[in-house]
Structure 1
Amino acid sequence: MSDLGLNTISFAGRAASSSQFKALYAEGMALVEETATYLDGDGRTASKVLPRMASVLYAAESMRLTTRLMQMASWLLLQRAVNNGEMTRDQVLSEKSKVRLDGFNVDRHAPGWNDLPEAFRDLIERSLRLQNRIAVLDREIYRPNDAAIVPDNENSVQAQLNLLRTAFSVH
């Protein structure tokens, strides 16, 4: 059996070690720093004058926000380590299992949401968008290669066409 993964280009793998990753890394780390600065400064001040429901929501969302950012920072640091040759892919896979890139939903209809400071809601929204981009990249880089096996009598171009037909139900 030939492995289709050996015959095709992994765009996600290349993106993960490219200038796009460096930009994503810089964006993620800057967001971590910006959020920490906000929560320790303007956010702390703003949270003291919020109505009760918004104050409770602020406390919960600030914990979710910092947790989300720490999970993303962990993923970015692991990916940087593998890109720099500091860790093997297997080591990263082992450590990556501790990182969560999903399950941080936000209820924008929760009582008090509209009373939250706009800058705080903006940090939440930006973190969710970044989390989604990282999760997509993670799935592309670390998805199982089981689906990439092609029978010996099928060439890789035909295999790609068959995958497209299957995906779009074209026969």
Structure 2
Amino acid sequence: MEMQRISRTEDCSPFPIPGLAADILHMRVKEGSKIRNLLRFATARMQAEARDSNGTSLRQVVFSGSGRGVTKTITCVEILKRKVGGLHQVSKLYYKTVNEVWESPQQEAPGITMERTVPAICILLSKDPLDPWESGYQPPQTLSSSTEDAERRGGLLRTAQSPTSQQTAKRLCLDDWSVCPP
């Protein structure tokens, strides 16, 4: 007997991030959402040229997703941070209650209502500084070429010319434990 989902409802809990404006841009990411469509809309609204009805540019956006949409939500945020730049971030993980109603194609079989708890994420991106003491806060990324050079000198990044440990390791002959020629 194959069941078919006929409805799905999520609890409408408030955002877990305190102090959000009521009219903030909310990008709700679902499992089937297209990343390029979400980013095209959010990027246009966050760019300096985009103005709202009051003539001011959008300063903040919230991305949220639950269940299988969590990874897609994070992907959207990371891409937008690289496109727009200088964005402060606050991320919150929480759980959401989802109610699903399943029905059998046979009329005599009873329907089933399931209540599940699924992981969810809510990420605020802001052009304006946010409270650095808020849990989940990340400052804007400032990876410049001088930072990359410092990381390379510190051995964090490998250049194309630097040999790997596998290339510089000596080979041992197992029969007499001497170093074998390469």
Higher helix residue share: 1
Name the structure where strand makes up a greater proportion of residues. 2
TM-score, with structure 2 as normaliser: 0.21
Structure with the larger RCO, 1 or 2 (CA within 8 Å, 6+ apart): 1
